[in-house]
Structure 1
């Protein structure tokens, strides 16, 4: 046995060495500027382009490659950054990309170089992670090819498919967090795109099998996916290979990815609709002009008809997607042991003193610090293990290296939320209610929190599915686990961009002492911060002299005064506005040059218009 184990260790080392020798550096130069586009044919608008082009380039690398992206911000009026969604960034936490978390924002006229090794495999994407910039078009697929995958000989060609919601206005011009929207109703998209356009025909050959990489790069709306008269086999979710499972319908929240094997029919007599359908349950209002379902096609025969899919609009109750919790990782990683640390958070949507709607984990709405949290770690010395350094409103949790972390999330909102963890994937060990016809069961009742008595760890799957983005059902709950084996500062947040704007995020500061040993601020980091007029040392309040003094930190707005309701404060605000407008008109009237009665009479008599 010892001989066999020794042989396997040496063989693994040889394979890793061979892979390392085959690795290459893939470099891109990105000049990020505004360009014009009209992807749905309904409205031309400016979008974020790269090197004068939009859609953006699909980045393709092989597992083990080094990816180098030199980004220049030529937008002129907007800060930016790039997050490499799903990349673990082992040892390169400073390359993760979220502004004021692991870096300062890149201001117009500034540059940054992202440089990291890609030891993972699978389907990912990249997008802006500064304010709310990626819905303006700054997002695209990142594909990591792997010639060692168990299904590498099971397909003939690869295809990448993105789906997204689309707004006709710049995100900054869409009013959202305001007193006139006290419920926090998300802006409804104007259309839905497929590979950043509509009516796409994908040429295929009869009898071939294709690996289709599916990515929802939208900002808000989940989408269903199916192909008429075809089934497929799921082989990957969020970069994790799974045992092939037959399915006919998928549900992709924003930020989720699937890879599927689709075998074509042997006949070329017909073309078949590829159907994507927006989850209408997420929309507060559905305008008659909004087309929820999109038909694109597998093109077997360019001379044949391209039929439109016929379907019901209320797709949430008509289609039952494959439940991702049933997927088994191909590596057979077992359920992690009992957690060393359990974090229980409630998702709450509520109002603050300005009457607008905000989002909270428990009672905290994430508010960005004055110093990027990673830079606070690097500049706080022995205080780095004290959560107080990072400010109350980044909602920080200190994780010790290699701890098993369990997150229990109770969703008290009537909408679903896709939660994403940076720097890790996680085991999905419990969700209630499940996908399918019961997914919206709790939406009309009272929130149902996780109950360990009714759903004990003994009922968790032996080989839980793993992914980096997972959906919390409306007023339901989920439980996830991961190992804190990747020192860094990592966000955990809802990937609906509107909800992130409202503050639905928290921070993990993982193994801060180890971070200090492996990373340091560079001259480039400092110059980017100086260009952004942003502090790069000290605690969340930019205090370097007293790291436990948070005076001046950025805070969430105060809560509504006790006794005020949302309706009441809206009524009060509009009453005050009406009163101010009325007083203004009266004042203007009083100051106007109105002639006296005697003067008016004289003018009338001298006007020459009297008939007497």
Structure 2
């Protein structure tokens, strides 16, 4: 009997514990919030609450999110940012890429295994709705991390920008002939854990894990804690060699985990300082508060002084260069890429006078059929990029290709680029963090990557899923195509995605067809949204190479017209129309009762009132 019991015990101990199922039921509705104390506004809530719940799972768990769209007037979805979705590409949540939008009154279930660890977040990926509050942290706990026994408690900290208007109300003014330069909408304020002026209560001589997530729509922020250093142990879900730092630059969608050891005494509180990267802002009004103070609270009864220091004024603080981090697993450089994608960021106008964003000459335009569903219905033609349309900028790659992305930036602003379904190696970036990183465009000449003249590649490049490409600089990224699926690569500044700054990778399409099954409720979401779910990018199911009727970007401005020229022409035409109208009104008026201006100032004053339509002009 005893030997038998011993055998059973050995069998139980040798069998891995069954991962648990973690279920969240989300009823997505509008609620009212006022996180900065300046204005009530509609926000996207879950189960009648905002801020939204932090999703927490353990590595290996099955995550199930049942989402009902109760918004009433807006379609939606959920993208689980940083989740590889290996084998579950249909759960990635990007509308018109891997699923149809979920219409009001409809439901969808996301169900996938979380075989990774680290700090992530979730957000809407439909019609630019996450600036309306539909975003929050997603944490994957790992009791086997190399630093698991080094800290006593953890904090999750989200950084975000905040607008007082709905994104749908901002868009018409942003994407407008009156904003030809594409100046991004300026946030009204910035939040720390969806509020301001909060405290993290700590004990002396104790080590904590801080998980930092930038869930903003636009702006990067600097983060530091007065008189404290910390140790970086994770970026974007990838463990790093422990590396000391005192200041982080956290771009939109990036994440860091750091170990923070508190001081021996609790005689004062220390400012947690966040500073907005003001180089991203075209206009800074006097009432815009760019520096914010929260507190590392040692003593609740002690004072909590404001920190008014800026990064530029601090001689002993410089942002840590994430391109110098070494992955803890020491994964070596991916050699000899089999596919090279060379694209340049360009911001320009099209013939409707509005500002668009391009990778080379393509401004991403969503297809009529989600790209994944085109893969599933294209048969052997799924390997032909033509099927996916001319304006999704699709690159088809084979299974296990080593893909190199050379991303040159011809723009004067920086861009945080994110790849779904993968982390990539950061092989090269120019210029590095330092005095030239954010102001390099002042030189006026973009510096494209030269494969014959570059710095030495690191032996163990850092890996992450979101990287900042500097103004007029470049990044070189590499990843292994080991995850069959449709993955979008895009700038995570939501306004730039609205302008079309994205492209698509279709990875091993025939393997997708073989291994993937799209659930019935996902197809039902297409029916409810009146979105086609078969055929090519144009919805053609008969001739998959016929793209007649596909969605496409507006036309190019004819040769000879510059951006300045077309804007000048538009305003000239408007002035002419207004002038003709004035003549007509003058001719029809009763001249005997018309008031004659008494001074030249009155004449000038009438002229001034006619030119205040451009909300975004400096």
- The TM-score normalised by the length of structure 1 is 0.92
Mapped partners of 2:546, 2:315: distance in 1: 53
Tell me how far 1:442 sits from its aligned partner. Answer: 2.3
Q: What is the aligned counterpart of 2:484 among 487, 495, 514?
A: 487
Task: Decide which moves more: 571-580 or 400-409.
Answer: 571-580
Q: TM-score, normalising length from structure 2?
A: 0.91
The answer for the alignment partner of 1:553 in structure 2 is 550
2:143 aligned residue (136, 139, 147): 147
Residue in 1 that maps onto 2:200: 202
Instruction: State how far apart, in whole Å, the 2-side matches of 1:561 and 1:15 are.
Output: 72
Q: In the comparison of the two structures, how many residue pairs are matched?
A: 580
> What's the secondary structure of 1:242's corresponding residue?
strand
* Alignment partner of 1:98 is 2:101: no
Offset, 1:480: 0.7
Cross-structure match for 2:361: 363
Aligned-residue offset at 1:307: 1.2
Quote the residue 2:223 is aligned against. Answer: 225
Q: CA deviation at 1:319?
A: 4.3
What are the Cα deviations for residues 12-35 of structure 1, in whole angstroms up to 9, with x where unaligned?
Answer: x999952xx241000011111111
Moved over 3 A (4+): 13-17, 312-319, 578-592, 594-597
CA contact (8 A) 1:440 1:473 kept: yes
Alignment equivalent of 1:291, drawn from 283, 286, 289: 289
The Cα of 1:579 is off from its aligned counterpart by 3.3
Cα 1:404–1:17, aligned 2, differ >3 Å: closer, same or farther? Answer: farther
Q: Is the 8 A contact 1:429 1:481 kept in 2?
A: yes
Cα displacement string for residues 315-356 of structure 1 (whole angstroms, at most 9, x for unaligned residues): 699842111111111111010111001110011001100111
> 2:301 and 2:134 mapped to 1: Cα distance?
36
- Structure 1 residue 530 and structure 2 residue 496: aligned? no
SS at match of 2:435: helix
CA 1:182–1:14: 2 relative to 1, 3 Å: farther
Give the 3-state SS of the residue equivalent to 2:440 in structure 1.
coil
Aligned to 2:26: 30
Displacement, 1:310?
A: 3.1
Give CA deviations for 1:169-206 in whole Å, capped at 9, x if unaligned: 11111110111111111111111100000000111111
The answer as to whether partners of 1:279 and 1:315 remain within 8 angstroms in 2 is: no
1:470 match: 467
2:332 match? 334
Pair 1:41 & 2:37 matched: yes
Change (3 A) 1:596 1:147: closer
Structure-2 residue corresponding to 1:159: 155
Point out where structure 1 has 5 or more consecutive residues left out of the alignment: 1-12, 598-612
Change (3 A) 1:587 1:309: same
1:511 to 2:508 alignment: yes
Do structure 1's residue 576 and structure 2's residue 573 form an aligned pair?
A: yes
Matches within 5 A, 1:116-515: 116-174=112-170, 175-312=173-310, 314=312, 319-445=317-443, 446-455=445-454, 459-515=456-512
Query: 1:16-67 CA distances to partner (integer Å, 9 max, x unpaired)?
Result: 952xx24100001111111110100111111100011000000000000011
CA RMSD, Structure 1 to Structure 2 (Å): 2.0
SS at structure 1 position matched to 2:174: coil
Kindly state the Cα deviation for residue 279 of structure 1 after the two structures are TM-superposed. Answer: 0.4
SS in structure 1 at match of 2:512: helix
Where does residue 603 of structure 1 map in the other structure? Answer: none
Q: Does 1:74 align with 2:70?
A: yes
Distance 1:399 1:376 in 2: 16
Match of 1:444, SS state, is helix
Distance, in Å, in 2 between the alignment partners of 1:267 and 1:301 is 10
Once the 2 structures are TM-superposed, how far is the Cα of residue 100 of structure 1 from its aligned partner?
A: 0.3
- Does the aligned pair in 2 maintain the 1:157–1:209 contact within 8 Å? yes
Q: Is the 8 A contact 2:291 2:310 kept in 1?
A: no
Distance 1:595 1:233, change over 3 A: closer
- Greater displacement, 580-589 / 358-367: 580-589
Moved more, 442-451 or 486-495: 442-451
Hey, what's the Cα distance between the residues in 1 that align with 2:113 and 2:32? 33
1:14 to 1:318, Cα distance in 2 relative to 1, 3 A: farther
For 2:7, the equivalent position in structure 1 comes to none
CA shift for structure 1 position 580: 3.4
Structure 1 residues 14, 253: CA separation in 2 closer, same or farther (over 3 Å shift)?
farther
